[in-house]
Structure 1
Amino acid sequence: MQKRSFLKALPVLVAGAQPVFSGGTSAKTRPFVEVWKDAECGCCKDWVKHLEDNGFDVRVNDSGNTAARARLGIPARLGSCHTGQVGGYAVEGHVPARDIQRLLAERPKAIGLAVPGMPVGSPGMDGPIYGKRKDAYDVLLVKADGSTSIFKSYPSKSSTSS
């Protein structure tokens, strides 16, 4: 790395962000997600890959997610197989990367986002084993009191008319 590039990146490095160098002259930070999951869960690994493929840096803790879910304030009734934390928000379950990006851009007052259960067709639950099946599901905005509202709805493949 050239000295000028390093000096431009230094504030980002000191702050602990994950820099991405483009052309060797500027740094752009990628959102950092910390994930807690079971070590053997294949759909969790696929969701982590989905995040990485969509511009996130991810650190994985293969220690299960029940304690992380509780610590981050996600109600147990909204649980799934993995829990993440990004930009001060909790992310529970198979939340699409574009919804996390929207959350970070809009910065609503909330605990975070949740996709309860494991809906087929959501990121990480969309592998070849499921064929072309895609169930309807909602991404929920989890508010400070534990209540939710729909952040984004995804229709089933059969109900898509376009």
Structure 2
Amino acid sequence: MRKHLSLALLGLLIWTNAPAYAEESSRDVTLYKNPQCGCCESYASYLRENGFTVTVKPTHELAQLSRMAGIPENFEGCHLSMIDGYVVSGHVPVASVERLLSEQPKIVGITLPGMPQGSPGMSGRKTEPFTTYEIGSQSPRIYAVE
């Protein structure tokens, strides 16, 4: 029963945040994160600094929400955001988020797997390009390399 409730909740979240296909996309973000994760709070601050309004919602069901959103386990990010009807998983650079909102492709969303050092919200120095994948095709494929 709980699984069905969570599926219904995720479906409702995606439906109520669906792209309006208007000229300007929504700047409202709902970010789901593990309650004790500090880097997720840093990513929320990063989005705010780039003009988004972010609501953070702690959850212990992040992995389940990611799977329900269609993100394969080995492509999951550190947190899950809902932005204008799209799923954005992990520490995705704002340039890719802006591209997603501007182009409005017919995909579920994008993900930057893991917690890459130096990515937005993460400490450390960037040591290699960040590869962001699109979710919603038959299998994840490269969306951007930054």
TM band (smaller chain)? 0.7 to 0.9
Can you list the C-alpha shifts for 1:54-80, whole angstroms capped at 9, x where unaligned? 011111111132232123222222112
CA distance in 2, matches of 1:134, 1:51: 22
Can you list the C-alpha shifts for 1:82-101, whole angstroms capped at 9, x where unaligned? 01111111111110122111
Q: Give the AA of the match of 2:141.
A: S
| Residues 93 and 115, structure 1, Cα contact 8 Å, conserved in 2 | yes
Shift of 1:138: 0.2
Q: How many aligned positions are there? A: 124
Q: Give the AA of the match of 1:151.
A: Y
1:149 maps to 141
TM-score when normalising by structure 2: 0.76
CA distance in 1, matches of 2:36, 2:76: 18
In the TM superposition, 1:57-76 aligns within 5 A as: 57-64=53-60, 65-76=62-73
Which of 1 and 2 has greater Rg? Answer: 1
RMSD (Å), alpha carbons: 2.2
Percent of paired sites with the same residue = 34
Runs of 5+ consecutive residues of structure 2 not aligned to the other structure:
1-16, 18-23
Q: Name the SS of the counterpart of 1:120 in structure 2.
A: coil
Task: Please tell me whether residue 85 in structure 1 is matched to residue 82 in structure 2.
Answer: yes
CA distance in 1, matches of 2:29, 2:69: 13
Structure possessing the higher relative contact order (Cα contacts under 8 Å, 6 or more residues apart) = 2
Q: Give the AA of the match of 1:137.
A: F
Structure with greater strand share of residues: 1
Runs of 5+ consecutive residues of structure 1 not aligned to the other structure:
1-15, 17-27, 155-162
Shift of 1:30: 5.1
1:41 maps to 37
